[in-house]
Chains A and B, each alone.
Chain A
């Protein structure tokens, strides 16, 4: 029987021309981006190595946001330890030299507004040159305000940004792998906790559980904050872990800034059979920058020049 072929690799489309924005040579020199060597991904990497990568991801988030002059700071900084563990702790299978290789694991950032952390992680893994981070949100940049698959940026599996939708797409990828392609790929998805207010999350959770998608691991960035305030003041989402458990997920509750706990949780998720896993990772928005930590007012704004200098100094 034949197979219909579809370009499953993104093809640049839309209005975007081939002319990419050019970052300032001064900044590239200041951040020493030209001499950067990507971090390696291995289960053998020490926790300290991953922590170093997380720190570099956080620096890149600050650098790209201050250049962009708009964008989300709090969530990306808070989830950096998780992202560093996923990409540099040997959790995810990928090859930046063959970004679309068939056997890769899939990553879906359902909370698309946390794009700066995804771009910073991909750059630190070698999917793109680091200087491109300085083009965030600029005209014709591959680094759209929310991830856009139409830009063809390696490592961006799907466009996300309308909250709740990425989770359903991740479920579809897991369904394709488990039942149609019958391979051993795993699908990793990160959602925000404010995002849990979207009904599609729970539809997708019900679907994933019904179809026993043990190749799916969802991580909830539990920072208790959203753009208008703290969750209970906007819309209560607790009890988060119990909800996922009730929906049939194997649920693990961890400190999302503890690299050993994150590693252990992903290892545990790997061993669960016949049900999907949800890791509820307690984090602080804006962590560990002193003037941002656990402050919801940093959800949707970038640092100004002075704040960026201060934040970068704290990350030395």
Chain B
């Protein structure tokens, strides 16, 4: 019988290039939630003790794929996110690998006490999928647009937090957290967003990947903002600014070595996330760099406000979650380098 006891790689120093110089192109558009759904099926096929709890919105967060394929290992939990998380804890303490997915607004925010005491304090092998993340949920409005759960989940001891950048990476990340031992949270979105990574694009839990080389400024992004960062970098190149783009898909634990190297080699950082700028990805990077290697930094994200109804692209533009804002931030931070 196969035994998997993977642990997150230690933060060994990395060559800043990771040995690759990918040139990304737009391969289409597909929501990361479909990657999560397909990843669950892959796990179900590989491991008999992977089980899934449904939270009524199974067709939205794509746990329905698993339900169709493995009805005996799918358990409907109704609309009770807190109890689904507790039941998942009981399943994990009995040797199962339970996934529970709901909208991040409920899976993380409503559930914080359950995640803190029952999942993380128990160090239970529970996997939480937080869907419909960020403002790109669109017309559902502020109640369903969660912009705070990176902050919440990354403060919990024992928790691993991953925010995949596109459909393909979401699939890989889902399989990775299933095979990893310990509490984990994966954040994914509802709206179709650019697909640009491939099966052979490097992905490893606990590692940030350099997606574009450059030494004038490092743009550190997660989720759909990674594509915006790549677009921004091409525009910046036209103006003579050579931007490095780093996909920080694992936010906890943070890949310290890659980020410190970026600060040293680029001398300026821009963070970009579909999340509050307080205590999110930018906050995590700032906490690291202010101690290890302080450099000027700018934050792209939502500025202490709630979202609202609208089409996803309208909202992303309104809240400044586009390549345009990243370009402005990059120019500003490069000017701040003395």
Residues of A within 8 A of B (CB-CB), count: 44
CA distance A19 to B123 in the complex (A): 22
Distance in Å from the Cβ of A237 to the closest Cβ of chain B? 19
- The residue of chain A having its C-beta at the shortest distance from the C-beta of B179 within the complex is A4
Neighbour of B117 across the interface among A6, A165, A199, A210, CB < 8 A: A165
Contacts of A172 in B (CB 8 A): 86-94, 98
Q: Is B231 an interface residue when CB atoms closer than 8 A count as contact? A: no
Judged by a CB distance under 8 angstroms, whether B80 is at the interface is yes
B76-117 Cβ-contact flags toward A at 8 Å (1 or 0): 111010110111111111111110000000000000011001
In the complex, A211 has a CB within 8 A of chain B: yes
Cβ 8 A contact of B80, one of A3, A167, A180, A206: A206
B51 interface residue (CB < 8 Å to A)? yes
CB-CB under 8 A from A169, the residues of chain B are 86-87, 89-90, 93, 118
A residues 241-298 in Cβ contact with B at 8 Å: none
Which residue of chain B lies nearest to A13 when distances are taken between CB atoms in the complex?
B123
Contact A165 B46 (CB under 8 A): no
| A207/B77 in contact, CB under 8 A | yes
Q: Assuming A7-B181, A158-B93, A168-B82, is B87 touching A207 (CB within 8 A)?
A: yes
**Given A149-B123, A159-B121, A159-B122: A6 and B86 interface contact (C-beta under 8 Å):** no
Report yes or no: A171 in contact with B83, Cβ–Cβ below 8 A.
yes
A162 to B95, CA, bound (A): 23
Q: Is the C-beta of A1 less than 8 angstroms from some C-beta in chain B?
A: yes
List B contacts of A129 (CB < 8 A): none
Q: Which of A2, A11, A161, A171 contacts B123 (CB 8 A)?
A: A11
In contact, B117 and A159 (Cβ under 8 angstroms): yes
B125 with A168: CB separation less than 8 A: no
Q: Determine if B4 is an interface residue (Cβ-Cβ < 8 Å).
A: yes
CB of A158 within 8 A of CB of B118, answer yes
Give the tally of cross-chain contacts (CB within 8 A).
Answer: 148
Does residue B201 face the partner (Cβ distance < 8 Å to A)? Answer: no
Name the one of B5, B50, B86, B97 contacting A200, with C-beta atoms under 8 angstroms.
B86
A163 to B114, CA, bound (A): 11
Residues from chain A with a CB closer than 8 A to the CB of B46 are: 1-2
- Residues on A with beta carbons closer than 8 Å to the beta carbon of B76: 210
A206 to B78, Cβ gap below 8 A? Answer: yes
- A157 CA to B50 CA in the complex, in Å? 21
> How many B residues are at the interface, by size bracket?
35 or more
* Docked CA distance A161–B113 (Å): 11
Q: B73 contacts which chain A residues (CB < 8 A)?
A: 180
Closest to B117 in A: A162
- Contact call A207/B83, Cβ cutoff below 8 A: yes
In the complex, what distance in Å separates the CA atom of A180 from the CA atom of B91?
9
Is A8 located at the chain interface by the 8 A CB criterion? yes
8 A Cβ contacts from A135-189 to B: 148-150, 157-159, 161-162, 165, 167-177, 179-181
- CB neighbours of B72 from chain A (8 A): 179
Could you tell me the distance in whole angstroms from the C-beta of B84 to the nearest C-beta in chain A? Answer: 8
Which residue on A lies nearest to B6, using beta carbons? Answer: A4
B78 touches A207 (CB 8 A): yes
Q: How many Å lie between the Cα of A130 and that of B75 in the bound state?
A: 42
Nearest CB on B from A72, distance (A): 18
CB distance A200 to B83 under 8 Å? yes
Most buried by B among A11, A175, A199, A206: A175
Kindly name the residue among B2, B86, B117 whose own CB sees the greatest number of chain A CB atoms within 10 A.
B86
Given contacts A159-B118, A165-B114, contact A5 B89 (CB under 8 A): no
28 contacts between A and B (CB under 8 A): A3-B1, A3-B3, A4-B179, A5-B4, A7-B181, A8-B94, A10-B123, A13-B123, A14-B157, A149-B121, A150-B122, A158-B90, A159-B121, A159-B122, A162-B113, A162-B117, A165-B86, A165-B118, A167-B86, A168-B90, A169-B90, A172-B91, A173-B90, A175-B75, A175-B91, A180-B51, A206-B78, A210-B78
Q: Point out residues on A near B: beta carbons under 8 Å.
A: 1-8, 10-11, 13-14, 106, 148-150, 157-159, 161-162, 165, 167-177, 179-181, 199-200, 203-204, 206-207, 210-211
Other A-B contacts than A174-B90, A207-B77, 8 sampled, CB-CB below 8 A, are: A3-B47, A5-B5, A10-B123, A106-B94, A167-B86, A171-B83, A172-B93, A210-B78
